[in-house]
Amino acid sequence: MKQTSLGRFAKRNAVPYMFLLPWLLGFFILTLYPMARSLFLSFTDYNMANEPVWIGAGNYIKMFDQNRLTGDPLYLKSLKVTFTYVFVSVPFKLVFALLIAVIMNRKLRGMSFYRAVYYIPTLLGGSVAIAVLWRKIFSKDGVINYIISALTGIQDLPGWVSNPKYALGTLIILTVWQFGSSMIIFLAGLKQISQDYYEAASVDGANKVQQFFHITIPSLTPVILFNLIMQIIGAFQAFTQAYIISGGKGDPINSTLFYTLHLYNKGFYYYEMGYASAMAWVLLFIIAILTMVIFRTSDRWVTYGTGE
């Protein structure tokens, strides 16, 4: 009796699990095991050459220890740089994406062409080529300064990339520049808003600005929530652009030392792999907490339309 039900169980599951097998193996070998392992390593001193040595919360304490010898003063710096980057670039990016989407959301000839043009920075922005270009055009003798001088007459402009005050700004501009995919998502969201709302509002005498704040924005809040979370998760993990533009070290004077850059240097330059694992877990924790907070507070500002 038991045999047959087991047999039926196996028969029912064999084929589906065959389809699921590559993903399932990947999950256990390349996700679950590495996660458990890096959690363990985060409590150890480990450099790959020797066996990991248990040091308890040592790595986690080290992050917040400002002493040069026992701690890692650069950790808080990298946290600050990353938070600044995320909380400046993401809002700007989304506001831009939304405004342009609203402007584009009309029956214009050539709309799909415009949409394509605005997507090009997103298409190319993650590449080393664009990072190299950015570093060059924002340098002291770069073309951006040339244009600013020509327009305003101001000479002796700083090298934006090499000045610690502005270097992070160039990276933020590079990120905001890539608002294309958020814009496309907003455009899709705008198409879902019923025209009846706008017609009713204009009958009631609401002008365009009022309509924007009372119809467009509330109707789009689910899309805004989605974009916000995806962009924040992505921004915390930004690496390539910071690596290339800062020469791999977060230069000048650590002003662009992104969290991921610091993690990379700790793990794969100094081979402090236990510490780097701990950093990775704190990053996961930060992202998880932020996502949760945004979700929890979202019922106060996200409105879901009734019946689709």
Partner 1 sequence: MEVRTKRKAATIATHVFIILLGVGMLYPVIWMIVSSFKPNNMIFSDPGLIPKAATLSHYVEGWDGLLNVSFGRFFLNSFFICGCSVLANIVTCSMAAYAFARLKFSLKGLWFGIMMISIMLPAHVTTIPRYVLYNTLGWMDGYLPIIMPKVFATDAFFVFLLVQFIRGLPKDLDEAATIEGCGPTGIYLRIIMPLSIPALVTTALFTFLWTWDDFFNQLLYIYSVQKFTVPLGLRMFKDNTGNSNWGAVLAMSTLSLIPCFVLFFSLQKYFVQGITTTGIKG
Angstrom distance (rounded) from CA 283 to CA 166 = 25
Q: How many CA atoms lie within 13 A of 150 on its CB side?
A: 6
* Burial bucket for residue 70 (CB in 10 Å: 0-12, 13-18, 19+): exposed
Indicate whether 123 belongs to the interface with partner 1 (CB under 8 A).
yes
Nearest to 179 by CA among 120, 108, 221: 120
Task: Select 237 or 297, whichever has its Cβ closest to partner 1.
Answer: 237
Nearest 5 degrees, angle CA 124-CA 130-CA 134? 140
Given 78, 178, 254, 265, the residue binding partner 1 (CB under 8 A)? 178
Q: What is the dihedral of CA 261, 264, 267, 272, to 10 degrees?
A: -10
Distances from the Cα of 76 to the Cαs of 81, 103, 162, in angstroms? Answer: 9, 41, 22
List of residues 6+ apart from 227 with CB closer than 8 A = 94, 97, 182, 185, 186
Q: How far is the CB of 66 from partner 1 (least distance, A)?
A: 24
Cβ neighbours of residue 181 closer than 8 Å, sequence gap 6 or more: 119, 122
Binding-site string for partner 1 from residue 61 to residue 100, where x marks contact by CB under 8 A and - marks none: ---------------------------------------x
Stretch that binds partner 1, among 27-35, 61-69, 74-82, 209-217 (CB under 8 A): 27-35
142 binds partner 1 (CB under 8 A): yes
Q: Does 108 help bind partner 1 (rule: CB under 8 A)?
A: yes
Taking the complex as a whole, the smallest distance from the CB of residue 134 to partner 1 amounts, in Å, to 7
11 binds partner 1 (CB under 8 A): no
Tokens of 106: 């009309």
Nearer to partner 1, 144 or 217 (CB): 144
Q: Which residues contact 182 (CB under 8 A, 6 or more apart)?
A: 93, 94, 97, 98, 227, 231
By CB under 8 A, the count of residues binding partner 1 is 95
Choice between 76 and 287, CB closer to partner 1: 287
Query: From residue 44 to residue 63, what is the string marking binding to partner 1 with x (rule CB under 8 A)?
Result: ----x---------------
Taking the complex as a whole, the smallest distance from the CB of residue 34 to partner 1 amounts, in Å, to 4
Residues 207-226 that bind partner 1 (CB under 8 A): 226
Q: Return the residue of 193, 233, 290, 294 that touches partner 1, per CB under 8 A.
A: 233
Q: Is 237 in the site for partner 1 (CB under 8 A)?
A: yes
Please state, in angstroms and rounded to a whole number, the distance separating the CA atoms of residues 151 and 156. 14
- Exactly one of 7, 8, 26, 304 binds partner 1 (CB under 8 A); which one? 26
Give 307's contacts (C-beta < 8 A, 6+ positions apart): none
Q: Which stretch binds partner 1 (CB under 8 A): 64-72, 157-165, 211-219, 228-236?
A: 228-236
**Smallest distance from partner 1 to CB 162, Å:** 14
Q: Write down the residue that tokens 């650069």 correspond to.
A: 74
Of 116 and 154, which has the nearer Cβ to partner 1? 116
Confirm or reject binding of residue 242 to partner 1 (CB under 8 A). no
Select from 7, 9, 54, 80 the one that contacts partner 1 (CB under 8 A).
Answer: 9
- Rounded to a whole number of angstroms, the minimum distance from the CB of residue 77 to partner 1 is 18
